[in-house]
């Protein structure tokens, strides 16, 4: 098996039997035990949970340690010339960040056309997302779920491909909305706005960890801050108006 192969992704059991599903899974494992197989190989075999197509589980749902949501850049898994209901870069980033904050992986599908070309809107949206992820990589790669995934307004229900196609995406992001990840002694508070000024992160109030340092990710300049019973108060500036969002990096004392 190709040494660089990391994943074989099955999309449903079809007419396979339990024994056949097991043999598929065992074949991959015997050839390379480091290659992952998703749960859709069937009959509860596989290495991690599939949450559902274009579905974001609620924070109240009990999830396995390893799980994934697969999604699309519009409402189609293959190429459809008439499907121009494209998710915006901000909507795609919302899927990504919300799933990430709950400990999941976001597998984004792109359907090329009959000539193998990726639709330009898909490419543009991916470039915009990629730029943001590159700039805020420390808050993404190697991180895990923090004790609370997010704060702010109520969750936006995204219950699958059909739900998104019928209802669209309706959410106004505010400066009170944050999603969290963590790595080592750092907590990352992700905002999907470019609003400047004073912010309050309620989940980092007194008693939720002693703070040592606060900064805007991507900048070495420390931010002034105050941690009190209401939360962590700080002020953000110099956020580009075309930014999809920003990240506050909070370093906690090792005590």
Residue 109, judged by CB atoms within 10 A of its CB (0-12, 13-18, 19+), counts as middle
Residue 138 CB contacts under 8 Å (≥ 6 apart), including other chains: 183, 186, 188, 217, 247, 249
Tokens of 22: 């097991």
Per-residue confidence of the chain (255 residues) as pLDDT tens digits? 677 899 999 998 889 999 999 999 999 999 999 999 999 999 999 999 999 899 988 888 888 899 999 999 999 999 999 999 999 999 999 999 999 999 999 999 998 999 999 999 999 999 999 999 999 999 999 999 999 999 998 777 677 788 788 877 878 899 999 999 999 999 999 999 988 899 999 999 999 999 999 999 988 889 999 999 999 999 999 888 889 999 999 999 985
Sign of CA dihedral 8, 86, 103, 195: positive
Task: Name all domains of the chain by residue range, CATH numbers in brackets.
Answer: 7-144 (3.20.20.80)
Tell me which DSSP letter residue 48 carries: B
């Amino acid at each position: 098996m190709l040494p660089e192969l990391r994943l074989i992704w099955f999309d449903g059991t079809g007419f396979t039997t339990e024994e056949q599903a097991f043999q598929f899974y065992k074949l991959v494992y015997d050839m390379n035990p480091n290659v992952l197989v998703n749960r859709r190989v069937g009959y509860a075999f596989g290495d991690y949970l599939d949450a559902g197509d274009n579905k974001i589980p609620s924070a109240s749902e009990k999830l396995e340690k390893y799980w994934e949501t697969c999604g699309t850049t519009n409402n189609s898994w293959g190429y459809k010339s008439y499907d121009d209901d494209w998710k915006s870069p901000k909507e795609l980033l919302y899927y990504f960040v919300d799933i990430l904050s709950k400990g999941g992986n976001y597998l984004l599908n792109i359907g090329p056309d009959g000539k193998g070309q990726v639709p330009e809107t898909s490419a543009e949206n991916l470039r915009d997302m990629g730029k943001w992820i590159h700039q805020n990589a420390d808050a993404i790669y190697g991180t895990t779920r923090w004790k609370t995934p997010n704060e702010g307004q109520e969750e936006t229900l995204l219950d699958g491909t059909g739900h998104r196609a019928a209802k669209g995406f309706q959410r106004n992001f505010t400066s009170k909305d944050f999603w969290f990840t963590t790595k080592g002694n750092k907590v990352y508070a992700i905002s999907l706005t470019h609003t400047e000024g004073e912010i309050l992160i309620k989940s980092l109030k007194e008693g939720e960890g002693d703070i040592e340092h606060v900064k805007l990710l991507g900048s070495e300049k420390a931010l002034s801050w105050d941690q009190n019973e209401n939360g962590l108060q700080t002020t953000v500036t110099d956020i580009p108006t075309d930014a999809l969002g920003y990240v506050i990096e909070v370093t906690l004392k090792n005590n």
